[in-house]
Amino acid sequence: KDTDTSFQINSLTGLITEVRVDGVSMPLTQNFFYYEGYVGDNRVFSNRSSGAYVFRPYGPIKPASNGVRFTPIIGEIIAEARQTFNEYISQSIRINRIENYIEFDWVIGPLPTNELRGREIVTRYSTNFQSNSTFYTDSNGKEMLKRRINFRPTWKLNVSEPVSGNYYPVTSKITIRDEQQHLELAVLNDRAQGGSSLNDGEIELMIHRNCLHDDAFGVGEALNETAFGKGLVIRGSHYLTFGYTDNRKAQTPAFIEKDIAQKKLLDSWTFISPLQTTPKEYQ
């Protein structure tokens, strides 16, 4: 109501197809995928298992599901689409009447453990951006650092791990830009994650993983956390926003991103007190 922010879902696929933030629209899709973790005897580097310390995918990325069931809920304060991708991946895509972002609130787990290889779950946001193999991450938690696929600024890189060799820490934000359209897309995460932009116009973030074999780097146990006797279930959010980087709008993406970051990292505290008198007396 107060902000011109919305999204569209394709009723056949159940996936998001377009987003609108502060009156600016663009096509965007989002889906969940997984990598299988490499399993080896750890004797030489090429046989190193994917584990707590290292991410070594085995084979190509795979979609987490073939179809998505979804339920829209539309109200005066929030509107959301609840999506169920499979038995261990669900999500609510949510907007509210006062904020300039779209929230992706995911619930992942328990991941399957009945296979040889662990699963490493990622989410991908795909746009038509021409991002020239370049993206930005706040890996040191202080400033946005420029990243280029298959490139290091101080030496000639021979990439032997095309996926994990391009993954970087994302402390609270990852962005891509389209210099021709003067657009910037940002995903703010509520916890540190690994992320990349392996293809132009895409942002990929890893949000959950289990590795059924130790990587022999020191932890001495498989990464297969449990809670209440089952594999760990995690819940968290990504906040997606975008806008024009030139001055055609009053609020630039940097302004909106800083506003969201402040509100999320220094979130307000909510306390509950029993009402011991009548509401009138309390007032």
Partner 1 sequence: RIDLNALREAMGVMQHHDAVTGTEKQHVANDYARLLQRGIEECEIISNAALNKLTNGTTNSSSHNPEESVQPFYHCPLANISQCASTENLDNFVVTIYNPLSRSIDKVINIPVVGGSYNVTDSKGVAVLTQLVPIADFVINIPGRSSNATYDLYFVATAIPALGFKSYIVSKTKSKNNDYNSEETSNRISI
Tell the burial category of 2 from Cβ atoms under 10 Å away from its Cβ (0-12, 13-18, 19+). exposed
Task: Compare residues 158 and 283 and give the one whose CB is closer to partner 1.
Answer: 283
Residue 101 and residue 99: Cα distance in Å, rounded? 6
- Considering the complex, state which of residue 69 and residue 146 has its C-beta at the smaller distance from partner 1: 69
C-beta of 231 vs 253, nearer to partner 1:
231
Interacting residue ranges for partner 1, rule: CB under 8 A:
11, 14, 52-53, 69-78, 80, 82, 84, 90, 92, 96-99, 107, 110, 192, 219-221, 225-230, 233, 235, 262-263, 266, 268-276, 279-280, 282-283
**DSSP H helical segments within 77-215, as ranges?**
none
Minimum CB–partner distance for residue 40 and partner 1 (Å) = 19
Q: Quick check: 92 and 82 in contact, CB under 8 A?
A: yes
Q: CB of 192 within 8 A of CB of 171?
A: yes
Taking the complex as a whole, the smallest distance from the CB of residue 252 to partner 1 amounts, in Å, to: 18
Q: How far is the CB of 49 from partner 1 (least distance, A)?
A: 14
For residue 40 the two structure tokens come to: 């080896």
- Distance of closest approach, residue 9 Cβ to partner 1, in angstroms: 9
Indicate the pairing of strand 102-108 with strand 119-126: unpaired
**Cβ closer to partner 1: 161 or 221?**
221
Half-sphere exposure of 132 (CA within 13 A, CB side): 7
Whichever of 145 and 261 has its CB closer to partner 1, that residue is: 261
CA 91 – CA 82 distance, rounded (Å): 6
Measured between alpha carbons, how far apart are the two ends of the chain, in Å?
Answer: 29
Q: How far is the CB of 97 from partner 1 (least distance, A)?
A: 7
Q: How far is the CB of 70 from partner 1 (least distance, A)?
A: 6
Q: Which is nearer to partner 1, 142 or 156 (CB)?
A: 142
For residues 57 and 231, which CB has a smaller minimum distance to partner 1 in the complex? 231
| DSSP character at residue 49 | P
β strands within 97-179, DSSP E: 102-108, 119-126, 134-137, 145-148, 168-170, 173-178
Place of tokens 């310390």: 53
Q: Give me the least distance between CB of 143 and partner 1, in Å please.
A: 18
